[in-house]
Amino acid sequence: MAIQVNIAEAKAKLSALIEAAERGEEVIIARNGEPVARINALKARARRRPGLLRDVYGWTGPAPPFEAFAPEPDHVDAADRPIDPRRFSED
């Protein structure tokens, strides 16, 4: 069964008309009794399945450590000592 409403009524009851379209009812909007638009429900977008990365890429946990980002041993030791301001003076 089709529901036909005029533009003013459609503005006032838009939420209810959208719900009707989601239920599968045909909603027609008319201007001066002449149909000008129809509201249809769209197909629901498929939700992404959890675990897609695991299935596609074989990924099962955290990424392995990347050695390029590992700190240099000298820098680790230097971080534990105070900075000597004389190293940066321009004298």
Q: What is the pLDDT of residues 12-24, one digit of tens each?
A: 999 999 999 989 8
11 and 33 both lie in a single domain: yes
Flag whether 90 is in a domain: no
Q: Is the same domain home to 33 and 62?
A: no
Give this prediction's pTM. Answer: 0.47
3-class DSSP state of 34: strand
Structure-block tokens of residue 25: 């009812």
Q: Which pLDDT score is estimated for 58? A: 65
Residue 14 confidence (pLDDT): 96
Query: What does the pLDDT read at residue 36?
Result: 97
Residues 10, 34, single domain; the answer is yes
Count of domains forming the chain: 2
User: Is 60 found in the same domain as 35?
Assistant: no
The span from the CA of 19 to the CA of 11, in Å, is 14
**Residues of the chain falling short of pLDDT 50:** none
Question: What number of other Cβ atoms are within 10 A of residue 27's Cβ?
Answer: 22
Q: In angstroms, rounded to a whole number, what is the distance separating the alpha carbons of residues 27 and 4?
A: 6
Whole-number average pLDDT of the chain? 81
Q: Looking at the domain assignment, is residue 91 inside a domain? A: no
Structural domain range at position 77: 52-81
